[in-house]
Structure 1
Amino acid sequence: MSLAGFENPVLDQQAAFRSVMQALAEPGRIVPAGALAGEASPFGPVARAIALSLLDFEVRYHLSPGLIAANEDITFHTGSRLAARPDEAEFAFVDLARDALDLASFAQGTPEYPDRSTTVFVKVECLVGGPTLTIAGPGIPGTRELAIPGLPADFIAQWAANAARAPLGVDLLFTTNEAVLGLPRSTRILGEAR
C-alpha cells in the first residue's frame, strides 16, 4: 500500500531534514517535527517524513518486523532498497513498542570511514514520562535529562558499549507523531537520575 507523498516536496523535505539535524546538534532536546507525511503509515507521520527526505536510490534501509508493512510505500516513494541485514543499512527504522532494539546489530562504521554506520530511527509513543537519564556531550550545555518510556532494560549498557566504540557506533533518533529527539554516538549517559 502506498500513501500520498509530501504536499510541497521541496519545502517539506527541507523541513524534515532540518529537524533531524537540529535534533542531532542538540542531543536530548525535543524538536518539533519540521514536516509530517502519512498519518496512516506504520512509521507515523514524523518518521515517514524523515524517510521520504533521507532515502533515495543510492541508500539501503532496514525495517524492524513491526514496520515491514511500510516497505512497499517507502520503496515506491524513494527508490531506496531494503537491506538484507541490519548491518548493511545506512538507515534503520525500529518500532520500540513491537520490536527489540539491538544497537550492536547495525553497521558501526570502520576506522577509515566512521560515517558508514547506521543511523537508527526509533519510533516511540512519547518522549517524556520514562526513567530520567542524565546525558552530557557535544551540543549539551552542562547536562540534560531525557525520559523516554519503554527503553530496553539494558539500554544504558548498550549505549555505553556504543560510546566505547567512538568514533564508530550508531546515532539514534527517537520519533513520535509530533517530534524527534536525537542521541548521537558522542553523547554520554551519566546515569539514571534519582
Structure 2
Amino acid sequence: MTLHANLVSSAGLPDPVLSSQSVFRSVMNALAGPGSIQAIADTVHAPSPLIQATAAVALTLFDHDTPVWLDNHFAGVPAISEWLRFQSDAPLTVDTSRASFALIHCGTALPDFETFALGTPEYPDRSTTLVVQLDTLTEGPELILCGPGIKGTASLRAGALPPDFVERIRANRALFPRGVDLLLTCGAKLVALPRSTHVTVKGA
C-alpha cells in the first residue's frame, strides 16, 4: 500500500463539515466551561499513538496558518507528521515559541509553559494551545477549579500530570491576559483549562 493510500485510509473525520462543526462546538464548550468533560461523537482514524480526541482537535483547528510543534514521542513517529500535513496542511515547527498548537503525548511529559508562545498584552491570542493526552479523566488528585465560566467551583481528576502541575498553572494564570491554554484529551473526551482558570488541589 502506498503512503498516500495509508493516509487516505486514516482519513479522519467521517463528514468533514458536520463532524468538524461538532468538534468545534465541543472545544468551545470546553473552553467556556473549564473542567467540563466534552465528548467527541465521531470516530476518528489517525496513526497511533494519536488518540481520538487529539486527532479530532487537530483536524478541526489546525490549518496552513497554525504552526504545530510535536513532542519527541510524536515527532519520532513519521506517520503522524505525514498524517497532519496531509489532513490539515499545518506546517510543523521545531521552535516551541512559534507554535500555535503543541501536541504532547502524555501529561507527565508536559514541557515548561515558558518555552511556548505566551502572547503579548496587545495580542494575547498569539500564544500556544497545548493539547495534552492523558490516560484518565477519572483518577488522580482532585483538582478544584474556579474562574470565568465556572459557577462557584468545579472539580477535575486528571492523571498523570507532573507533580508541580498546579504551580505551573498558577504561574501561567499570573501572566493573564498572556499565557498558554490547555486542552486535555483522553480517549474520545476532552476538557479545557484556559489561562484564566485558577487550580488548586483539594485539601491542600
TM-score range, shorter chain: over 0.9
Q: Deviations over 1:130-158 (max 9, x none)?
A: 10111100111001111111110111111
Distance 1:143 1:8 in 2: 36
Moved more, 174-183 or 96-105: 96-105
Distance 2:151 2:108 in 1: 34
Matches within 5 A, 1:70-89: 70-89=80-99
Specify the code of the residue in structure 2 equivalent to 1:21. Answer: M
Distance 1:32 1:142 in 2: 23
Whether the 8 Å contact between 2:62 and 2:88 is mirrored in structure 1 is: yes
Q: Identity over the aligned pairs, expressed in percent?
A: 39
Matches within 5 A, 1:49-88: 49-68=56-75, 69=77, 70-88=80-98
Q: Does 1:128 align with 2:138?
A: yes
Q: Give 1:101's match in structure 2, choosing from 101, 111, 114.
A: 111
Q: Give 1:14's match in structure 2, choosing from 12, 21, 31.
A: 21
Matches within 5 A, 1:1-194: 2=7, 3-38=10-45, 40-68=47-75, 69=77, 70-96=80-106, 99-189=109-199, 191-194=200-203
Which consecutive residues of structure 2, in runs of 5 or more, have no partner in the other structure?
1-5
The secondary structure found in structure 1 opposite 2:130 is: strand
Larger radius of gyration: 2
Q: How has the CA–CA distance of structure 1 residues 183 and 100 changed in structure 2, closer, same or farther, with 3 Å as cutoff?
A: closer
Whether the 8 Å contact between 2:44 and 2:55 is mirrored in structure 1 is: yes
Specify the code of the residue in structure 2 equivalent to 1:8. Answer: D
Specify the code of the residue in structure 2 equivalent to 1:144. Answer: A
Residue 3 of structure 2 corresponds to none
Tell me how many residue pairs correspond in the alignment.
Answer: 193
Distance 1:63 1:132 in 2: 28
RMSD between aligned residues: 1.5
Distance 1:136 1:5 in 2: 34
Distance 1:111 1:24 in 2: 20
The secondary structure found in structure 2 opposite 1:160 is: helix
Instruction: List structure 1 segments (4+ residues) > 3 angstroms apart after TM superposition.
Output: none
Whether the 8 Å contact between 1:94 and 1:121 is mirrored in structure 2 is: yes
Which consecutive residues of structure 1, in runs of 5 or more, have no partner in the other structure?
none
Q: How has the CA–CA distance of structure 1 residues 66 and 178 changed in structure 2, closer, same or farther, with 3 Å as cutoff?
A: same
Q: How has the CA–CA distance of structure 1 residues 98 and 131 changed in structure 2, closer, same or farther, with 3 Å as cutoff?
A: closer
